[in-house]
Amino acid sequence: MASDPRLQTSLCGIPLRNPVLAASGTYAYAVEFEKLVDLNQLGGIIVKGLSREPIAGNPPPRLWETEGGMMNSVGLQNIGVQAFVSEKLPAIRKLQTPVFANVFGYAAEDYLEVVRVLEDAEGIAGYELNVSCPNTKHGGIFFSSDPALLAELVGQVRKIAKRPLIVKLSPNVASIAPLAKAVEDAGADAVSLVNTFIALAIDIRTRKSRIGAGFGGLSGPAIKPIALRMVYEAAKTVKIPVVGLGGIRSGEDAAEFLIAGASAVEAGTANFWDPQSPLRIARELGKFLKEEKIANVRELTGTLSLNR
């Protein structure tokens, strides 16, 4: 696919061939998808979450298809940062597409150790911090729901991270604005939102949850209207770029997020049905720009006029 100049943009100073990235947890460690899609045509790839040590993940079943999307409870299964550097990064380095490492932990020390290891390795364009985890050292308080705790974490990571730092915010909060502002003030280069909504699906015959771990994260088209609202609120609060995600499955969906204030978007759940979704979404977005006679996708960002 030839590069469409209308789609060319950047995120945190990193040039992107288009503003559509593959979301964390939906494209494994990128290289596993090389036979299914031309990885060098993607706007960017965010690998599945990396932790300090390997994690086996949650018991099955881990996925449940809902009427408007999908629930998942993979449990952040991953090979650990050391194995990622030795086994996956050599192939990732050969890609032309920017690859971001999603990082998570259960205490600040976990995040810091993962970033330290990655800082000593080549091949990563930047970091996306998944802060939707409970802080085990603070009684299980979620990083994502406490602005002070979140700012402390981001500030510590910022001190050691030389690469761009994106913080992925959770929608399971009363208000997104103070969290986005806390992240910006702590030194983040961008925010991405939204992560999944905590949800429950029940088998009425067994009277048990359809997810092995009980609750799961809801994603897909069902959450898009709420995600759009939160992206708009975050973009109105901060000056740093916002990356929007939540139910994006078409070029028009992507355009909505950009108009709401996003500078780039991530496709996630759609990838489970079609791994080439990010490429198709980018093509459709390019077609929309052509039809609307818009010279560059950056012109869409933040152009929403609320009916008030």
- Reduced to 3 states (helix: H, G, I; strand: E, B; else coil), residue 16 is strand
| 12 noted as active-site residue | no
Cβ within 8 Å of residue 101, ≥6 positions away? 46, 47, 50, 84, 114, 118, 124, 126, 127, 128
Contact 279, 44 (CB under 8 A): no
Greatest CA separation found in the chain? 56
On whether the CB atoms of residues 278 and 271 are closer than 8 A, the answer is yes
Q: How many residues does the chain have?
A: 308
Q: Which helix (H) or strand (E) holds 21?
A: strand 20-22
Please report, as a single letter, which amino acid is at residue 205. Answer: R
Instruction: Write out the two tokens for 197.
Output: 């909504």
Mark 191-203 as b/e (b = at least 16 C-beta within 10 Å). Answer: bbbbbbbebeeee
Separation in Å, CA 236 to CA 5, 27, 78, 118, 130: 28, 30, 35, 32, 22
Q: Rounded distance, CA 240 to CA 145, Å?
A: 20
Kindly state the DSSP code that residue 298 receives in the 8-state scheme.
G
**Over the Cα atoms of the chain, what is R_g?**
18
Q: 200 is written with which tokens?
A: 């429950």
Other Cβ atoms within 10 Å of 172 Cβ, number = 15
DSSP-based three-state secondary structure for 119? helix
Catalytic option among 21, 23, 37, 133: 133
Alpha-carbon span 139 to 254, nearest angstrom: 38
Catalytic residues: 133
